[in-house]
Structure 1
Amino acid sequence: MDKRYRLNEIYNIGTIIVNKKVEVKAHGKVILIGEHSVVYGYNALALPIQALNISTTVEETAGPTWMDTNHYHGAFFVAPDEYDGIKYIVKTMLAKVADAPDVKITYSGEIPIERGLGSSAVVALGTTKALSQFLNLNLDHDEIMEITNHAEMINHGKASGLDAATVSSDYLVFFNKQDGPQQLSQKLGATLLIMDTGELGNTKVAVQAVKKQMDESDLKKKQIARLGELATATQENWLKQNAEEIGKIFNEAQSILASFDLSTEKIDNICKIANDNGALGTKLSGGGLGGIVIALCPNQATAQKIAQKSQANFDNYWIEEI
């Protein structure tokens, strides 16, 4: 067994090592149910999306430590504040070895940012894994996830760990903070239409807004708890392959999220069009204030029909069989 095959087997990811050059690919995700409530310890369900991915490449450079992305090309540690989570990872990893080399880190492929598709978690996970291999640190899964999740806390102010757990999984993830992630390999037998409104969401602002409302209202606390109950009900109905009931759950969850002022006109328009044209249920996914909408459909034909009728309200869409 050669070294390259061994590394692929250990990490279960695409990994290439050529002359001290490491490449790691990680995929995105969508939250099906439980956004915001998961931050407070309730249940959530999230789905990995293999079609959306980013590759992280690490190689030695003459210096300074450098970063190349689709949006920034320059010295790593003077990058804008939006890269603070990644800066934390690189500083932490380089500090683990004596006389650490300067490195060039390149991110290729793209997941739309600030849409709830897990872009920051994907980059954090990919960076941690790639540097672990490049520096021969051989960090185990728990160590990698600890660093990734800390970077997510920097990125979002308060992170549940759901995004990191899902972008590192090949299966549906049922998650709460107490028990951690549980993978569900069973299929629902339905089609998920994912639509990107093109509006930038802001997870940190959304989380802060929800917390403020909860601090001021017992009703809002009860609504967040209800989102957690709906996530548990989604898991139960998923195992029964009851897509119709999950659709009803999606619609109730959307009403709750909208009551926190997390929806937008585009999101509302998409939800109405989708539900009027055969969707079993439709809701925003992620922090809200923009981002993406997911419509649970009985089949691909219905998903395509909804996408056609909703196209004035989104920039891009994807269809996943689930």
Structure 2
Amino acid sequence: MTHHGRGFGKLLLFGEHAAVYGYPALGLALTDETIVSITPADNQQWDTAQIPPLYKPYLQNVLDALEHELTTMGHRQAIPHIRGRADISSTIPVAHGFGSSASLCVAVAQAALSALEAADGHAGSSAASPEVWALANRLERLFHGRPSGIDTGLALHQGITAFRFDGSDLPQALPLQSGSLIVVAAALPRRASTRELISAIAERMQAGDSRTAAVLAQLGQLASSAIDLLPHTSDAAGISRLGTMADQAHAALARLGLETPQLQRCLQITRECGSAGGKLSGAGGGGAFFALFHNRSRAVDAARELIARQAVDAATIRVLEITNGRSRVIDHGGGSSSDV
């Protein structure tokens, strides 16, 4: 029997870096996804020979970490019974800030726990169960060192989600509704890994850098305000206010040294096309970014202008329409639309 797992891509809207220190965050699940399939084999060995070279080292490392975590959970004897052929497919750009590692960890956790329960003779658990999230977030340590739970939470939960921390291992995930939003999202090559960027800020905080602490507090306050505003973005005024908050958050992230000249240029192009505001999304140093628009036509024009000026890889562009907390791709260079 083959067991499947699925993790969504993500777009972090507000709260990056600050969330590591307990401030709230706001993000959106994308329609892009990673699917992992595990088919237990009689020889009780992992078979990853068919995995594309781009994904093979990531998947093998996650499978190694999976066995360690399952041993810690008391399932050591069952591990040989879930080993077998592993397959992966994904539409999420790797290492671009759209949550490729988190989606992989969620997909592996779902498939593995399903296989484990089948090996134990039990019915499969919910694909979005707390156990899946907890295991996926432990696997995510491979990539982020100290994951907040937000990326794996967005990979697991559909729609727009607010995250608040109460001292537990994982944050509270609160599904949100929204007015109608139009967003252009795209990505640039990264100059450093998420782990490296988070570690650099951690070093400043450990050294007692009050300036860094103040910027993180500002990012947390903007995230909290955006969470409160989101249900009221059905008119131009609400979208303008959210865009201003995005600009303010980006300026704060730039003060942390997370902006790049290429990212600055991309956001300037979106402003020239009429955006209400925009910012980097995620760890920074390149990676994902987004811009908010009042209408679809200007957003599509901005996406095409980014391509025309060769500012980004066209494969990373998504024009999203977000309604009632769910997103739909309405343009990404001529592809079809989809909903999450």
Q: Shorter-chain TM-score category?
A: 0.7 to 0.9
Assess, with a 3 A threshold, how the Cα gap between structure 1 residues 21 and 304 changes in structure 2: closer, same or farther. Answer: same
Aligned letter for 1:122? Answer: S
- Which one is further off, 205-214 or 247-256? 205-214
Q: Paired residue for 2:256, among 260, 263, 278?
A: 260
Aligned to 2:331: none
Equivalent position amino acid for 2:317 in 1: Y
Q: 1:161-203: CA deviations, max 9, x gaps?
A: 001111111121100232511111x223120100122446511
Q: 1:101 to 1:250 in 2, by over 3 A?
A: closer
Per the alignment, do residues 244 and 83 of structure 1 end up closer, same or farther by CA in structure 2, a change over 3 Å counting? farther
What amino acid maps onto 2:211 in structure 1?
Answer: L
Counterpart of 1:10 in structure 2 is none
Question: 2:78 aligns to what SS in structure 1?
Answer: coil
Give the match for residue 56 of structure 1. 36
Q: Which amino acid aligns with 1:225?
A: A
CA distance in 2, matches of 1:232, 1:290: 24
- CA separation in 2, counterparts of 1:161 and 1:73? 22
Q: Distance in 1 between matches of 2:145 and 2:17?
A: 13
TM-score where L is the length of structure 2: 0.81
Q: CA 1:273–1:221 in 2, change beyond 3 Å: closer, same or farther? A: same
Instruction: Give the C-alpha shift of residue 239 in structure 1.
Output: 1.6
Q: What is aligned with 1:303?
A: 299
Residue deviations 1:196-226 (CA, integer Å, cap 9, x gap): 2244651101101122233352011011011
Of residues 34, 59, 65 in structure 2, which corresponds to 1:88? 65
Q: 1:228 aligned to 215, 220, 227, which one?
A: 220
Shift in alpha-carbon separation, 1:284–1:101, aligned structure 2, 3 A: closer
Match of 1:34 in 2: 15
For the pair 1:22 / 2:3, whether they are aligned, the reply is yes
Gap runs ≥5 in structure 1: 1-19
Equivalence map 1:1-322=2 (5 Å) = 20-50=1-31, 52-61=32-41, 62=43, 64-67=45-48, 68-71=50-53, 79=57, 83-93=60-70, 95=76, 97=78, 100-135=81-116, 136=118, 138-139=124-125, 141-178=129-166, 180-184=172-176, 186-199=177-190, 201-214=192-205, 215-241=207-233, 242-311=238-307, 312-315=310-313, 316-322=316-322
Amino acid at match of 1:235: I
Alpha-carbon distance in 2 for matches of 1:173, 1:304: 25
- Secondary structure, aligned partner of 2:102: helix
Residue pair 1:85, 1:155 contacting (<8 A) in 2 also: no
Cα distance in 1 between the residues matched to 2:280 and 2:265: 11
* 1:317 partner letter: I
Residue 193 to residue 99, structure 1, CA distance change in 2 (3 Å): closer
CA distance 1:92–1:226, shift in 2 (3 Å): same
What's the secondary structure of 1:66's corresponding residue? coil
Shift of 1:85: 3.8
In the alignment of these two chains, the number of paired residues is 296
Deviation at 1:23, TM superposition (A): 2.3
Task: Compare 134-143 and 153-162 and name the one that shifted more.
Answer: 134-143
Shift of 1:89: 1.5
Of 27-36 and 272-281, more deviation after overlay is shown by 272-281
Q: In structure 1, how many angstroms separate the alpha carbons of the residues matched to 2:15 and 2:157?
A: 18
Q: Is the 8 A contact 1:270 1:310 kept in 2?
A: yes
CA RMSD of aligned residues (A): 2.1
Whether contact under 8 Å (1:25, 1:126) holds in the other structure is yes
Alignment-mate amino acid for residue 203 of structure 1: T
Q: Identity percentage over the alignment?
A: 22
Structure 1 length-normalised TM: 0.85
Q: Mind listing any 5+ residue stretches in structure 2 that lack a counterpart?
A: 323-340
> Matched residues in 1 for 2:262 and 2:253: separation?
14
Counterparts of 2:141 and 2:228, CA distance in 1: 30
CA contact (8 A) 1:28 1:122 kept: yes
User: How big is each residue's C-alpha offset from its partner over 1:123-151, in whole Å with a ceiling of 9 and x where there is no partner?
Assistant: 11111111121232645612221111111
SS at 1:219's partner residue? helix
> Is the alpha carbon distance of 1:154 and 1:250 closer, same or farther for their aligned partners in structure 2, counting shifts above 3 Å?
same
3-state secondary structure, aligned to 2:178:
coil
Which residue identity lines up with residue 257 of structure 1 in the other structure?
L
> Residue 317 of structure 2 aligns to a residue in which SS?
strand
Alpha-carbon distance change, 233 to 83 in structure 1, aligned in 2, over 3 angstroms: farther
